[in-house]
Structure 1
């Protein structure tokens, strides 16, 4: 699986986890705000200039997210990141190992 495709799947899982717990969305659905955040994140990953060579977005020197969306995704990741260990342990492990490169 390509790095970008993996990142897209992982960020969507994190957004879904956050939305389900914080916004009480139905399983498999996103509230309008989280749907917009997911769509924005997916578009940014599609346009990432580093392609499959990309590292963690938090460590990137190019900040392609608008300030409000960057803060929104930070809040989501701060909440969902630790919980990924419980809900998606394999993805969590790969994410942690990838960030150490």
Structure 2
């Protein structure tokens, strides 16, 4: 696997994990979450779309670890606070709801 493919695979995995964390947060905190389809409320969907866009444009994907450790904060302050709330809520719960993702 070449370098570009590894970076793209890492990007896709990060996007998936973040989306699942947002989905978990939405499911447990918002009444608008649709349990039958898994569709998030508009606010959480907006955050998920924003996080995906930020990940797609990240110039440090190849060597980065976590966005919180990055020297460049590309999230708008409002969105950064929203994702921080989601991470604090979902992070500890991911082990229960997505144990496989925690190991990868």
Q: Normalization by structure 1: what TM-score? A: 0.88
Deviating above 4 A after TM superposition, structure 1's stretches of 4 or more consecutive aligned residues are none
Check if 1:49 corresponds to 2:59: yes
After TM superposition, the structure 1 = structure 2 runs for residues 13-52 of structure 1, keeping only pairs within 5 Å, are 13-24=20-31, 25-27=33-35, 28-52=38-62
Q: Which stretch of structure 1 is more off in the superposition, 51-60 or 61-70?
A: 51-60
| Structure-2 separation of matches of 1:83 and 1:47 | 28
| Structure-1 separation of matches of 2:79 and 2:34 | 23
- Equivalent residue pairs, number: 94
CA deviation after TM superposition for structure 1 residue 3, in Å: 1.0
More RCO (CA 8 Å, sep 6+)? 1
Looking at CA atoms only, which structure, 1 or 2, has the larger radius of gyration? 2
Report what 1:12 is aligned to. Answer: 19
- 8 Å contact 1:11–1:38 — kept in the other structure? yes
